[in-house]
Homo-oligomer: A and B are copies of this chain.
Amino acid sequence: MLKYDEVATKMEAQIIADGLTQGDKLPKLTELMAKYAVSKSTIVKALAKLEQRGLIYQIQGSGVFVRRPKLDEHINLINNNGFTADMVKHKMTAKVLSLKKIAPPKDMIKYFNGDVKEVYEVKRIRYLDDQILCLEESYFKTSVVPFLNEQIAQGSIFNYVRELGIAIGFSDKYLNVIELSKKEAKLLELPEKAPALTIEETYYLTSGEAFDHSKTTYHFKNAKFFIQSTT
């Protein structure tokens, strides 16, 4: 992890620990430099990172201020850490419906720019505090994620991937609203044709290589979402 990433993470934890809210002012640059024992340029980069994540805003000549709307139970859509990292105060569990190593389905190949020979297909129901959150169908390139099993898939696959030292970079997400099919409705324990948000996501490594494509169908009563936009 880069030095400024580390400082950004510490600052974020401090903001949460201090219970700071919207509009609260952070200490001056010189105080932050002393507190984290780093150079001015590291603090400036760390603040840019926090601004990008929507955690602070900076007003020239005036200071650095906290952005903290009520986030609890809302899934942050600009966050590539996976749910589990986002939902630290909540219990995230999963029931694995199927997990197998297969040749990539035809309609998946385009998401990997044609560069894929084999994938893990994982189908899960995910729960937030024991309530059904979503139905998830994921495809992981085996050339990047060489091993998965049911036990791993019951927890956070993303945490596992990161523990392998794989650097997750960025993602593209497409959102649509649909009416549930009979099959989806049954799995989500909702009536047929109930409304649902689907998110199709492609995740890339920091090298720009696509390694995971997934389609998630959310329970409309149990899932709420949040986006903090920056300028």
Q: Hey, which bits of chain A sit against chain B, CB under 8 A?
A: 22-23, 48, 52, 54, 57, 59, 65, 67, 69, 74, 77-80, 113, 168-179, 194-197, 202, 204, 206-208, 218, 220, 223-231
Contact = CB atoms under 8 A, between A and B. Distances in A.
A197 B169 contact: no
A217 to B, nearest CB: 11
B54 A177 contact: no
Please list the 5 inter-chain residue pairs (A to B) with the smallest Cβ-Cβ separation, ordered nearest first. Answer: A195-B195, A175-B225, A177-B220, A173-B227, A171-B229
Contacts of A172: 67, 69, 226-229
B170 A57 contact: yes
A44 to B, nearest CB: 11
Listed residue (A77, A168, A196) with the most chain B CB atoms within 10 angstroms of its CB: A77
Given A57-B204, A57-B208, A197-B197, 14 more contacts: A52-B52, A57-B169, A69-B202, A80-B229, A169-B231, A170-B229, A170-B230, A173-B226, A173-B227, A174-B224, A174-B225, A175-B197, A175-B227, A177-B220
Identical chains bound together, number: 2
A48 B228 CA distance: 18
A22 B171 CA distance: 12
Given A23-B113, A65-B208, A208-B59, A196 B170 contact: no
B177 A218 contact: yes
Contact of A174 (B74, B78, B79, B229): B74
